[in-house]
Amino acid sequence: MEQKSRFRLWHIPLLILLILGTVWIALSEKHPADIPFQRNEGAIFGTIYHSTYQYKEDINDEILAALNQVDASLSMFNPASTISKINSGESDLTDSLLLHVLQLSKTISKETDGAFDVTVAPLVNAWGFGFKSNTFPDSAMVDSLRGLVGWDKLTVEGNRLVKADPNMIIDFSAVAKGFGVDWVARLFQKKGIRNFMIEIGGEVITSGTNPKNELWHIGINSPEEDSIQGGNELQVILAMSDCAMATSGNYRNYYLHEGKRIAHTIDPKTGYPVQHSILSSTVLAPSCAMADGYATSFMVLGLEKAKEVLSFHPELQAYFIYSDEKGENKVWYTPSLKQFFTE
């Protein structure tokens, strides 16, 4: 027994060295100091993308190629895109990206009782957004256009997308930027890139740590309704990693008509712009497309109904900036989000 005890004691220093070595290797692999961070930016989807990632070389050409794949599938402003051909009636053939985003969109629509609807474009356009119009719809026009709206009127048969009415328009704008972010993240993951941040027009996903070997610091803008161009003042800064974030808001995208503010968010059920108190809806989710879709949904639902949806989705976290009865800005957020707050 004494000999065995001496044998075990002799192995303790070796065991400690092995443990320390394993920890060092793991940390080195997580954030190897000899691999630089690359930074890229460019134009896509009518906005700007930014990416920061730790990799041995610049792969901006591949990033742009991935984003152009999304554009070729989902962009309504690209006449050669899959969705443009479906909307024009030129074709009913889908592609893998469109099918993925359509399925996600339908899931969000179902979970939000139709607050999110990729067929709402005719109403959006009628109220002067999207492709713009010079007239305001009356109740008869709204009722007529509502007949072209309904996410459950879309069915997939093999690789074909069938619309209940050929005049229906499908618009993935409320989720396309988020999916673009996810698609670039997929590219990074395939290349073994662990530390990165991708942002497109305010929609963002993070992984690992930043160049300072810290969590990524992502800000939520403070609404400034009296500023046409908006300010850069931040409401709060989140320290986050391995999650995605998207924000939807009415405080910049609206116009005044006969002294009344008309918001760009249209309720698919009523056919009219929403009149809720939420100014800004920010959602954290496992994917940016999911965060994007739910952020839009919550703008339609309003504060109380949004809270109800969140109670059934622990994978989501939200930060709402809203206007109270006195017109003062207030904040509500899911309790679990507080762990992300930083200075």
Annotation: CATH topology of 238-343: T-fold (3.10.520)
User: Rounded to whole angstroms, how far apart are CA atoms 14 and 167?
Assistant: 73
| Closest by CA position to 239, among listed 268, 263, 214 | 214
pLDDT > 50? residue 57:
yes
User: Rounded to whole angstroms, how far apart are CA atoms 253 and 267?
Assistant: 15
Distance between terminal CA atoms of the chain?
58
Domain span(s) for CATH 1.10.3980.10 in the chain: 87-171
pLDDT > 60? residue 252:
no
More confident of the two residues 324 and 308: 308
**Residue 131 confidence class, pLDDT cut points 50, 70, 90:** very low
Please say whether the dihedral angle defined by the alpha carbons of residues 114, 115, 121 and 126, taken in this order, is positive or negative.
Answer: positive
Show the tokens assigned to 202: 């305010």
Contacts of 20 by beta carbon, 8 Å cutoff, 6+ apart: none
Q: What is the SS3 assignment for the chain? A: CHHHHHHHHHHHHHHHHHHHHHHHHHHHHHCCCCCCEEEEEEEECCEEEEEEEECCCCCHHHHHHHHHHHHHHHCCCCCCCHHHHHHHCCCCECCHHHHHHHHHHHHHHHHCCCCCCCCCHHHHHHCCCCCCCCCCCCHHHHHHHHCCCCHHHEEEECCEEEECCCCCCCCCHHHHHHHHHHHHHHHHHHCCCCCEEEEECCEEEEECCCCCCCCEEEEEECCCCCCCCCCCCEEEEEEECCEEEEEEECCCCEEEECCEEEECCECCCCCCECCCCEEEEEEEECCHHHHHHHHHHHHHHCHHHHHHHHHCCCCCEEEEEEECCCCCEEEEECHHHHHHEEC
Q: What is the SS3 assignment for 32-72? A: CCCCCEEEEEEEECCEEEEEEEECCCCCHHHHHHHHHHHHH
| Closest by CA position to 44, among listed 77, 8, 11, 21 | 77
pLDDT for the residue 204? 98
User: Rounded to whole angstroms, how far apart are CA atoms 287 and 183?
Assistant: 10
**Residue 274 confidence class, pLDDT cut points 50, 70, 90:** confident
Domain span(s) for CATH 3.10.520.10 in the chain: 238-343
Residue listed under structure tokens 């190629």: 65
| Closest by CA position to 74, among listed 258, 292, 269 | 292
Query: With pLDDT > 70 as the criterion, what percentage of the chain qualifies?
Result: 81
pLDDT in tens, 151-175: 999 999 999 999 999 999 999 999 9
Per the prediction, the chain carries an average pLDDT of 87
Query: With pLDDT > 90 as the criterion, what percentage of the chain qualifies?
Result: 71
- What homologous superfamily does CATH list for 87-171? ApbE-like superfamily (1.10.3980.10)
pLDDT in tens, 20-52: 555 444 444 555 668 999 999 999 999 999 999
